[in-house]
Amino acid sequence: MWHPCRVTDPLAAVYGFDLAPELRDRLRGEPPAGVLRWVESELGARVVGARALDGGTSSAVHMLTLSGAPDSAVLRRYVLDWVAEEPWIPPNEARVLRALGDAPGVPAPRLLAADPDGSVTGTPTTVMSALPGRVVWEPTDPESWLRQLAEVLPLIHAVPVPPGLDAWAPYPPEPGDVPPAWSAYPGDWELAVELWHGPVPDSDKVFVHRDYHPGNVLWTGDRLSGVIDWVSSCVGPPEEDVAHCRANLAIHHGVAVADRFLAIWQDITGRRDYHPYWDLTNVVSMVSDEANPGLDQFVASAAARLR
């Protein structure tokens, strides 16, 4: 039986639960009154409460309680400086949420309002419907948890691609980061970089989430109730979402769990060919100074399949 491990403190920081005070103030502080007035005018409902949501480090996200219909909504404000270098992200989120609103079967938020360039609210802003549920990293029924994580992917990949969506490319490694100094398998990391520079295996071009992992999936009881954080969605291979989820599963629960997730996805989709390229090129941008044995083992396992 698989006994899920607990998230370690360094990983908790990655997912936004242990922020430095200044960053916490910017991301978790009260939304400006002017932004809330804009939300009220867009939704035709009065904001009666705003609660900061944990779990992210790239934007300020608040759950809004409304007096009217809808009775709740999620407000995302892109308040950090990185958005000036990637101004395409806020309009991409709005574009993707519009497309998902017409996609049956995908438990995703609906777009309620958007100010993608911040011309009205002062910073790029998105308002979306609130989904029920909570993030689960330690399931009571691991097999069902993995199966449901895999089952929703074909529904996502069947979403019609909206016009203007960018094409996928693997994120690059940061100079000097790979192989990481803490790795027991530096040659396998070097192979990952070599593959990153090489040709991409043949695959379909479909709508992909691009950041699919358990931290972006919500559960009500033991049922998957939502998939969130669609800001990076693009057109690419379905294996991108599989590999990114596998890497996160390996970090938290080990390679065997990541392999079980892959096997379930292959049974569901009938796809038997899965090149180690997808795993190895997905992780080259995930390196940090903190030693990560789970990620190291994941890279070693993927590299071994090429020998």
171 and 89 in a common domain: no
What pLDDT digit, counting tens, does each position of 232-257 carry?
999 999 999 999 999 999 999 999 99
Q: For the chain, give the percent of residues with pLDDT over 90.
A: 82
**One domain, residues 156 and 36:** no
Q: What is the mean pLDDT of the chain?
A: 91
Residue 2 located in a structural domain:
no
| SS3 category, 11 | helix
Residue 55 — pLDDT band, cuts 50, 70, 90? Answer: low
Burial grade of 52 (CB within 10 A; 0-12, 13-18, 19 or more): middle
CB 74 within 8 A of CB 110: no
Q: Does 92 fall in a domain? A: yes
On whether both 124 and 195 belong to a single domain, the answer is no
pLDDT at 259: 98
Gap between the Cα atoms of 168 and 201, Å rounded: 13
Cis peptide bond prior to 10, omega within 30° of 0: no
CATH number for the domain that contains residue 238? 3.90.1200.10
Residues 204 and 109 in one domain: no
Q: Quote the number of domains for the chain.
A: 2
Q: Region 18-29: what's the mean pLDDT?
A: 76
Residues 119 and 188 in one domain: no
Among 64, 98, 129, which residue terminates a domain?
A: 129
74 vs 109: CA distance, rounded Å: 9
Question: Residue 291 sits in which domain range?
Answer: 134-304
What does residue 112 show for φ and ψ, rounded to 5 degrees?
-105, -35
The region of weakest confidence among 4-8, 188-192, 234-238, 244-248 is 4-8
What sign results for the dihedral spanned by CA atoms 184, 189, 191, 192?
A: positive
Lowest mean pLDDT among 3-7, 65-69, 247-251: 3-7
Residue 28 has pLDDT above 70, yes or no: yes
Q: What is the pLDDT of residues 143-170, one digit of tens each?
A: 999 999 999 999 999 999 999 999 999 9
Q: Is the residue at 4 inside a domain?
A: no
Q: Is 73 a residue whose pLDDT tops 80?
A: yes
List the end-to-end C-alpha distance of the chain, in Å, as a whole number: 30
| 86 & 181 share domain | no
In this prediction the pTM is 0.90
Among residues 100, 129, 158, the one where a domain terminates is 129
The residue among 109, 129, 149 that closes a domain is 129
Question: Cα–Cα distance between 153 and 292 in angstroms, integer?
Answer: 27
Whether 111 and 189 share a structural domain: no
pLDDT on residue 57 = 77
Same domain, 84 and 150: no
Q: At 18, is the pLDDT very low, low, confident or very high (cuts 50, 70, 90)? A: low
